[in-house]
Amino acid sequence: MEGRTELILQIEMEKGGVLADKLQAMRMMKKVKKLGSIILALLISLTFLPMPYGAAPAQAQSVRALEVLEVQPGTSYDLTNFDWSFIPDRTVHLTQMSMPEFISKIDEINGKYDIVYIGNNTGSLLNPASYSALGSDFGITILPEGGINGICSKEYYSDNDITNKRAAVLKDFISSKQLTIFDQSIFNTWSCLKDTKLYQNFHSDVNNANYPNVVLVDTSFCFCKASNVRTAFSVYMNNSQVAKRPELTLNSKPSEYDGTDKSYQKDKSMGFNFDIRSNSSTNDLTVKLYQDINGDGIFKAKDDYAGQSEQVYELDHRNSGTGCTVNYHLPDTSIGLGLQPWKLEITDNGTGAKSYVTGATAFKADSGNELKIRVLQLKPSGNTFSVYDDLKNAEGQNLLYKEGVYNISVTEMSVSDFNTAYADLQSGTPPSKPAKVNGENKTAPTDLNGNYDMVIMGFADIYGGNDLTNNNALQALQNFIKTNQSVMFTHDTQTYDVKSPGTWAYNMTQNFRSLLGQQRYYRTAPDSTRYYDPMPNACKDSYGFSNLTLDRANFGLKNGLVTFQTTTQAHKINDNLVTQFPFILGDIQVAPTHFQYFQLDLEDENIVLVYTLKNSSRSTIYAHPGDGRNDYFTYTKGTITFSGTGHSRPDSVEEDKMFVNTIIKASRGANHAPTLEIHGISDGMNIATVSTSIDFSFKATDIDLRDQYLNADIELATSQDGSNFSDYQKVKSFRAADDVNSRLQNGAIQPVSIAKTADPNIKAYKVKVVAFDDSNAQVSQEVLLNNVDENIIQNPSITSRSGYSQMSVIKNEALQTNIGFTLIRPAASFKLDLANSLSGSTMDVEISKVLCDGKEIEFNVDNGDHEKIYPKDSAFSGGMYTIYTAITLGNGDMQEDQSFTVTLTDQTSALDAVTQSEYNIPSEPSLNIYVVSSPKLH
């Protein structure tokens, strides 16, 4: 039911508390919320059996482990081998990571951990690390693009600090009154970290009576370090003002996808049964469901780029209880196929503390209903990876197709041909160019919008020395991105040689570095919607080159130092569809590759690191596998994906599988252009000059759930010679925001009538239908119509019942004949006229049946002329007609062994139902008759 969520609440009432429970039930019903446009497509039911206030949880529940997170400047930790025995009856799960890895993560801390410890362990002489607001410029003399550091621009190694984006995640944890421990040295009066984001975000929370859950620990003296840390952690048990996470226990959940065929579901529904328990005195909980619609691994409660919240359901003000069930159905579209990650979360409304569980369920459809993805690969010179050839046969596997799930088609075109198509384009549509379409040599469109779902720029080291060489080509790709459609950039599609026009990937770097998230610093913030890192030097610009790029420029092989090596290992840093579907991946082996040139802007909430580089047997410089800012291999940013593949030919099926996963994720996260069907007119069709309008219908369909209504423009061009056409003029429009009775509904057939021009010299029309969504992802289709004075009735014939042009008949027997013709437009009536070659003979014609395209239709015979008939409905529709007739000649006119003909004369006609013009048949077919004593020939 559109716009309606069905909610079923069942309340188990305790004796003596019926009235209170009724009042609470009424309050719950009022608080049910319908959140986000996606909720319109889901049918959700929730049943809750509450536990009376103050009641104990089910005794069968086991005590869960205590989850502790430790973050340090580097990889030297305080809690390794720590004695947790002072925490009774609890197992402790310890997660440790460096600050560079922490700022590369996307997971929510509130709901995952019970205690967070931000330390300041600066490591050892061999493994030093420290927080810093600004990276060092020590040793940076030569700039990667050439020139001396500090003359025109100033470069620094990256700092070691928290980002404001991740600080906000930690602040949410602190605000929920859960235990957060900081090393005291971070906030000392003499601290050298006062310019860091770590200090600036959290110094006001330290020694703040409003935050008794924020604790400092002194680790400066080795002999009492362990004791001090133990005392800090003991606050979790000993301070009643420190909040505890609510308990969420899943009794049943949807089937978990494990990468096998048997773990797919066809029924698009997911059900949960769970118990919840508050650990605060308020006993007031909120239940939320999330679906990771775009597959980026982030479950967003607020609207994302597409105006779509991923929170699909919320129920407020629940008491602790057992047997809570939530069931919902996914929409029946191809976008609902494949992996559907979910998150079930509860929030203690008294404290803000959360608990959540995540999982992923996979769905498939019947064969033929797969999600269809159209990929354009723009190949550079020396291309190292063919998306079609290498994925069609990856160690004997066709990775481009999964029955009932997805079907990837691939067009491969050289970037040189793409450039040529746009080089001299002034307006209109760029020409098609040679390409390989699913392995076959053909021509393919270079117009991106409406023809492709994803564009891949790759693959080659230094992008084969290529670039997008003209503004039209660059603008085409930028426009495609602006419509939220998917683009993948790959290895070396950005260059460090930023001051040399004409070098490889120079134009792509200038135009796409910021869109890719590879511009970290800004002189002026592009907008006020988020925080941007300012230039580290107020007087000079900085490109923000990655650490290894700066090392290579200053300590290269010429000095005997190894600063440029390739590696064959990639480290998984976050989970999303790139690592989960259709292939479940961990750390992977990749073809030899190397670092890229710019630091990532990790303040951008849309950037999701997936893989970073780590050392393999052939390298030693990738020693920080958690450093997503500098050593990224694969990441996503909204509908843009970056992959480090391309330095050399992939030789690992793991990398092939990651690439398929990346395509699937890109499609899921992207906006899709509609598809378009036009009915009633076809290219090259003739239309009558006398007709006053062009009548047809079209259907625009979009698989994106948010696009319940679409937009369309109908345009018309004319020609007086059939070859040279005027510019298109918009003659009709439909908008998603139109009145509910007139707007264009996704997937519905829309009739259209266009008035023709009054100019009698028009020889042809072109009709163009452009359908597009609110992001302007569009598809268009043109139809050429010849404007001719075309006869409405064509291909007349008269035959025997058996379809022959001659027949035998017994003397004075009625002739059983069929009159046939093609009607190209609706007719208001038919008029037959027949003659025979017998001198002076009379004829009586009786019409017994009328068939159109083999189906019998009802008709009426004219009262004054029984050779004229009318439809019982409004008009005879276009089609192939057969009229059954019985022809009786005047008595005595036939003689045995006599031959004669019956002719359908040119007075036979049809009346045009629209113009009321009468058209006669263009020829006079005849039937040869031979009179016999008994039938011989039919």
329-380 confidence digits (pLDDT tens)? 877 665 678 999 999 999 999 999 999 999 999 999 889 889 999 999 999 9
Q: Chain-wide mean pLDDT for the chain?
A: 88
Q: Where residue 851 falls among pLDDT bands split at 50, 70, 90?
A: very high
- Enumerate residues 6+ apart whose C-beta is below 8 A from 896: 811, 931, 932, 933
The pLDDT value given to residue 62: 65
CA gap 181, 183 in Å, rounded: 7
Contact 353, 176 (CB under 8 A): yes
Q: What is the pTM of this model?
A: 0.78
- pLDDT tens digits, residue range 704-753? 777 888 999 999 999 999 899 999 999 999 987 777 777 888 888 999 99
Short-list 205, 175, 173, CA closest to 69: 173
| CA neighbor of 639 nearest in space, from 243, 296, 133 | 296
Give every CB contact of residue 324 below 8 A, 6+ residues apart in sequence. Answer: 46, 47, 48, 49, 272, 273, 274, 275, 276, 287, 318
Q: How far is CA 900 from CA 808, 835, 860, 885, 926, in A?
A: 10, 11, 31, 18, 10
Structure tokens at 658: 């990651």
Q: Is the pLDDT of residue 590 over 70?
A: yes
Could you read off the pLDDT of 681-703 as tens digits, one per residue? 989 888 878 778 999 999 998 88
The Cα–Cα gap between 809 and 927 comes to 12
pLDDT at 15 over 90: no
| DSSP run (H or E) holding 675 | strand 675-679
Sequence-distant (≥ 6) Cβ neighbours of residue 118 within 8 angstroms = 71, 170, 180, 181, 182, 183, 186, 198
The H-assigned helical ranges of 720-787 are none
User: How far does the chain reach from its first CA to its final CA, in angstroms?
Assistant: 61
Helix H or strand E encompassing 830: strand 827-831
Express each pLDDT in 470-529 by its tens digit.
999 999 999 999 999 999 999 999 999 999 999 999 999 999 999 999 999 999 999 999
Q: Are 315 and 287 in contact (CB under 8 A)?
A: yes
pLDDT at 26: 38
Residue that the structure tokens 């799960």 belong to: 93
Predicted local distance difference test score (pLDDT) of residue 311: 82
Give CA 921 to chain center in angstroms.
54
59 has a pLDDT exceeding 90: no
Q: In Å, how far are 194, 199, 221 from 133, measured between CA atoms? A: 8, 10, 25
Q: Is the dihedral of CA 591, 595, 601, 602 positive or negative?
A: positive
Confidence class for position 13, pLDDT limits 50, 70, 90: very low
Please state the rounded mean pLDDT for residues 129-144.
94
pLDDT at 691: 77
Pairwise pLDDT comparison (937 vs 298), residue with the higher score: 298
> Is the model's pLDDT at 32 over the cut of 70?
no
Cα angle for residues 623, 629, 634 (degrees, 5° grid): 85
User: Quick one: pLDDT band at residue 30, thresholds 50, 70, 90?
Assistant: very low
- When mean pLDDT is compared over 229-233, 294-298, 788-792, the highest value belongs to 229-233
Residue 3 in this model has a pLDDT that exceeds 50: no
Residue 287, helix vs strand vs coil: strand
Give the H/E segment covering residue 164. Answer: helix 164-175
The arithmetic mean of pLDDT across residues 162-187, rounded, is 98
Q: What is the pLDDT of residues 869-908, one digit of tens each?
A: 999 988 999 899 999 999 988 766 778 888 999 999 999 9
25-34, 149-158, 252-261: lowest mean pLDDT where? 25-34
Closest CA to 384 of 651, 584, 77: 651
Q: What is d(CA 910, CA 830) in angstroms, rounded to the nearest whole number?
A: 5
In sequence order, the β-bridge partners of residue 927 are 902
Q: Cα–Cα distance between 553 and 144 in angstroms, integer?
A: 5
Q: Assess whether the previous peptide bond of 650 is cis (omega < 30° from 0).
A: no
Residue 934: pLDDT band with limits 50, 70, 90 = low
pLDDT in tens, 372-389: 999 999 999 999 999 999
The band of 789, judged by pLDDT with boundaries at 50, 70 and 90, is confident
Instruction: State yes or no: pLDDT of 563 exceeds 90.
Output: no
SS3 (DSSP) at 296: coil
| Residue 121 near residue 527, CB atoms below 8 Å | no
Nearest-10 Cα torsion for 425, 428, 431, 435: 100
